[in-house]
Amino acid sequence: MRRLLAVGLLFLVVQAAGAQSGDADQAILAAARALTAEDIHSLLLKAEARDGEAQVILALAYSYGSGVKENYAEAVKWFGRAADQGIPLAQFFLGLMYRDGRGVRRDLSEAVKWFGKAAEKGSAEAQFNLGVMLMQGQGIGQNLEEAANWFRKAAEQGNFEAQANLGTMYLQGVGVARDFVQGQMWWLLAAQSRDARIKEGLISLSGR
């Protein structure tokens, strides 16, 4: 039963990194997508001077192929430098790169490590992804109670995937005591949160 739950919730794993980020992170993501080739030189100078935000934007540029040729290895390098400075957005993206094996050898333990660092600093996306890893036992021992804990933290920040997962766990009594009222409440909030994000234009109808 528990294994079926993990498989059934797989579709909720974040595919569009940062899709539900806060306003500051959204501004960084937007800036990275709007870069031109002329912007890269000055951005590189700032990144080399240990400007953390510039490092994140440069990493995203390499990841998106925005203003520069797509290069996941370079993206990992710059995400890593920013992550080492403690920037949660960089830590989250570095976790994604390790999880998906983009620009670096796939390493689920490293993904858990970086998701964990960003999650501790309040990144809802990292909290959700850490919950997924714990739920599935990927890169870390399966712990459904801890998964529910991280889903709750992300859910309380309005992450609709986490809200839906938490609702399902309550409805099925997995990782938490079965509670149909809590389950329905979180599912309703998930639907409302997702609809709000669509209206804001932050996600497409596919959730990507």
What per-residue confidence (pLDDT) applies to 107? 98
Query: Tokens 């935000």 appear where?
Result: 53
> Residue 175 burial (CB < 10 Å; 0-12/13-18/19+)?
buried
- Residue at 33 is within a domain: yes
What per-residue confidence (pLDDT) applies to 105? 98
Span 160-184, pLDDT tens digits: 999 999 999 999 999 999 999 999 9
Confidence check: pLDDT of 54 > 80: yes
Confidence check: pLDDT of 4 > 50: no
Confidence at 21, pLDDT banded by 50, 70, 90: low
- Residue at 208 is within a domain: no
- Residue at 139 is within a domain: yes
* Domain count within the chain: 1
- Residue at 44 is within a domain: yes
What per-residue confidence (pLDDT) applies to 200? 63
- Residue at 74 is within a domain: yes
Helix axes 144-155, 124-136, angle to 10 degrees: 160
- Residue at 205 is within a domain: no
Confidence at 60, pLDDT banded by 50, 70, 90: very high
**Which whole number is the average pLDDT over 48-73?**
97
Its domain, for residue 196, covers 2-200
Confidence check: pLDDT of 92 > 60: yes
- Residue at 125 is within a domain: yes
- Residue at 196 is within a domain: yes
| 207 vs 96: which has the higher pLDDT | 96
Q: What are phi and psi of 124, to 5 degrees?
A: -65, -40
Q: CATH number of the domain that 153 lies in?
A: 1.25.40.10
- pTM, full prediction: 0.85
